[in-house]
Amino acid sequence: MVERASEEKLRAACNPDELGFMHTDELGPLKGIIGQDRAVKALHFGLEIRNKGFNLYVAGEPGTGKNTAVMSFLTELAQPKEPASDWCYVNCFKDNYSPRALRFPPGRAAGFAREMKDFVEAVRQEIKVVFESEEYTKRRSQTLENIGEQKARLLGALNDKAEQEGFVLQTTPVGFYIVPVIDGQPVKEANYLELPEENKQAITARREQVESEINTTLQQLQVLERTARDRMEGLDREVARYVLSNLISQLQSSYEDLVDVQHYLEEVKTDILDNLSVFKGEKGDGGDGPSAQSTKDYSRRYSVNVLVDNGESQGAAVVFEESPLYNRLVGRIEREACYGTLVTDFTMIRAGSLHRANGGYLTLPVHELLSSPFAWESLKRALREGKITIDEPTDRLGILSTKSMQPEPIPLDVKVILMGDPGLYQVLYALDAEFQELFKVKVEFDTRMDRTPDNIQSYGLFAAALCRKEDLRHLDAKAVARLVEHGSRLTADQEKLSTRFADLADIVREANYYAGVGGETQISKKHIAEAIAQRLYRSNLPQERMADLTREETLLIDVDGVITGQVNALSVFSLGEMAFGRPTRITAVVGCGRGGLIDIERESRLGGRFHTKGVMILGGFLADRFAQLNAINISARLVFEQSYGEVDGDSASSAELYALLSALSGFGIRQGLAVTGSVNQKGGVQAIGGVNEKVEGFFDTCSIKGLTGDQGVLIPYSNLRHLVLRDDVVEAARNGLFHIYPVRTIDEGIEVLTGVPAGRRLDDGRFEAGTVNAAVEARLELLSKGSGHNPEEAPSKECGHGRG
């Protein structure tokens, strides 16, 4: 005898008197993460261990609060730690396309950038002053005079030699012009041609000697020019070195603990000395042309590009990158338009999330990461190599071969936390071998927790914290109790509570609105109930349309009377954030033949794989119970009436079996009852999902047709703990207008549906007379005879069960 479920079995009631408070404003602050002990332990381990590859993947459904919880956890963990180093890029004077990375203690990079800017400006001013000084001018003039005297002596000697040979030298822009002299007068070209041949030959011979002397003198003059230039450069370097030594020594003393900075400053000093002409203003005109190299423009060569500045950071870095595009992750190299072309230099290198999180923690949404081209591969490469490399995405494709910047990679020490759903974790683990090596710690946030007194109390603490943070009205104890009941409803389990605190927070916020509309100072139970009801109302238009079809009898559903071979099955429709149940009529027809058990849904290609499996199990049940001695030869058809979409799932398999047993036995089924539950080959009724929606769906249908007190739902006994029904359903059950029958076996269910005992098999091999099983067996024997098969004969291959 199946007993009806009692009222206390139909809901997850919470007694407000046991909460220990009257209102949530009496409660203290919320500490820790509610109901996620497993996740908290995994977080502790993954964040504390510093070995390579122990990065984290935090899995959890949306709304479980994993993002808020992880960021709060990280902030608390990072606070006592030391800030990470500063990083900056400076010019590499040997190769401008390969900027150097310099590391500084926290807060010192920005200071170094300012000091370098002041240093370059001071060098520019000091060099200008010193090269305009009287002492420098005097020393320069003396050097030039000495060289000039030597040049004059050489030219004088050359002229004397020319006169001795009978020539005079005329200086032209292209060199010396040798003119012969006769009788103290230069010979003109016309007169020269009239001279005797002997005189011409003598003049030519003497000219060659003079030309040789000219070449020798010119070489000596070139040597003097180089000497003058070297002396002037030496003088300039001597003067500039004195200026630089005084200025740069101050910088070197400030950063004497940083070896790389000391090396860079020496390179700066050498480069300035090699380019003194720029600082003296001898190159470029200071104009706006692309080749202009004014001192101000050239000083950019010595700029410091501060990439990461942790001077104001408190603790280790905690970065949550919401949009992990490639450039936002590893950094980028910007460009600017200049005279019709795009140019760049080391000052246009920009940091990415990896730079900002270096030495701390970086949190990334995995779905967005995988959606961004190159981002996932770049992250893996950075973690694998332990350094951040900034390059152009096109370089990875190998399409363009233009020369581009290649900044020096920066060492990476970061803990990466990926945030995603469990499904993506399984995909990455199965398909990406590097994922297993780089993300060894899985942190999974559950969507539910045990309904213990401590966790119930945590619901109150959560509500109190939310109200304080967002300045909402506080909840009284009954409101918290109603929120707890709703938490169990979200999990569809009387012994569990939902950890989807985003949904719960929305309920509290909406309840606060209704309390405000009513002029209440606190949120009460009715406000929580109103918020829950209104959320459903805003989404249940499809459910109302279905109800209209039932009310109009467009959808044919019987909720009273007794009909053979017909049963009300229950299904669930999921539409976005809401799900609702509705009954569907299943009919079974049997007759003579060897067609076997035919599933019309499958034959019409409207049945899914799981539904097909459930129907095939029915054949196994019939074979196990009724075909141990004799083969079964029937032609039976099962169909979901007025179903025009795909049917899947096995939750209606018990209903199909009840319809089939009814059709075979001839015993009618009470139409005031609906059925849900899957079945196994041994006749056990198994748990299904959506039990609350299914029960409520049939209750709503009965309410439309009229409650008679004989209506109800058969559910699997193992689903009893999952009942968290609406108040109106519980009220109807309390008043005897609606009933829930938990059944363990098909035999129990058929007895409730037909009012006839199922019957057990006696020692003689027959079922008890007057029972459902006896009637089924007798009908099967009759159908087998009608199909031309003698049940006394041994079963043959022709007597199978068709496609069932």
Enzyme catalytic residues: 651, 694
CB 497 within 8 A of CB 491: yes
Tell me the two tokens of residue 527: 């406000």
What is the bridge-based pairing of β-strands 349-350 and 332-333?
A: antiparallel
Q: How far is residue 222's CA from residue 714's CA, in Å, rounded to a whole number?
A: 114
Q: Is 356 exposed, middle or buried (0-12, 13-18, 19+ CB in 10 A)?
A: buried
For 226, what's the count of Cα atoms within 13 Å in the CB-facing half-sphere? 5
Angle at alpha carbon of residue 18, lines to 17 and 24, rounded to 5°: 75
In angstroms, the Cα distances linking 620 to 396, 590, 679, 753 are 59, 17, 11, 22
DSSP string, 69-132: HHHHHHHHHHTTSPPPPEEEEE--TT-TTSPEEEEESTTHHHHHHHHHHHHHHHHHHHHHHHHT
CA dihedral 566, 567, 568, 572 (to 10 degrees): -110
Tokens of 40: 């908290």
Q: How many residues are given for the chain?
A: 804
- Percent composition of the chain: helix, strand, coil (DSSP 3-state, to 5): 50, 20, 35
Q: How far apart are CA 315 and CA 300, in angstroms?
A: 33
Q: Measured between alpha carbons, how far is 138 from 503 in angstroms, rounded to an integer?
A: 86
End-to-end CA distance of the chain: 31
Judging by DSSP bridges, how do beta strands 415-420 and 56-59 pair with one another?
Answer: parallel
> What is residue 307's DSSP assignment?
E
β strands within 115-235, DSSP E: 167-172, 175-182, 185-186
Helices (H), 10-52: 37-48
Element (H, E) at 341: strand 341-343
Backbone angles phi, psi at 585, to 5 degrees: -80, 130
Number of other CB atoms surrounding residue 392 within 10 Å: 15
DSSP lists the bridge partners of residue 185 as 182
Tokens of 332: 């980028």
Distance CA 320, CA 74 (A): 10
Run of H or E residues at 387: strand 387-388
C-alpha to C-alpha distance for 781 and 488, rounded to whole angstroms: 50
Structural contact between residues 379 and 373, judged by C-beta atoms closer than 8 angstroms: no
Number of H helices, E strands in the chain: 28, 30
CB atoms within 10 A of CB 643: 18
The Cα–Cα gap between 238 and 244 comes to: 10
Q: How far apart are CA 741 and CA 510, in angstroms?
A: 36
**In terms of Cα–Cα distance, which of 737, 692, 733, 695 is closest to 714?**
695
Residue with tokens 């992250």: 379
Closest to 403 measured CA to CA, from 414, 412, 395, 393: 395
> What DSSP state is assigned to residue 406?
-
Contact 639, 601 (CB under 8 A): yes
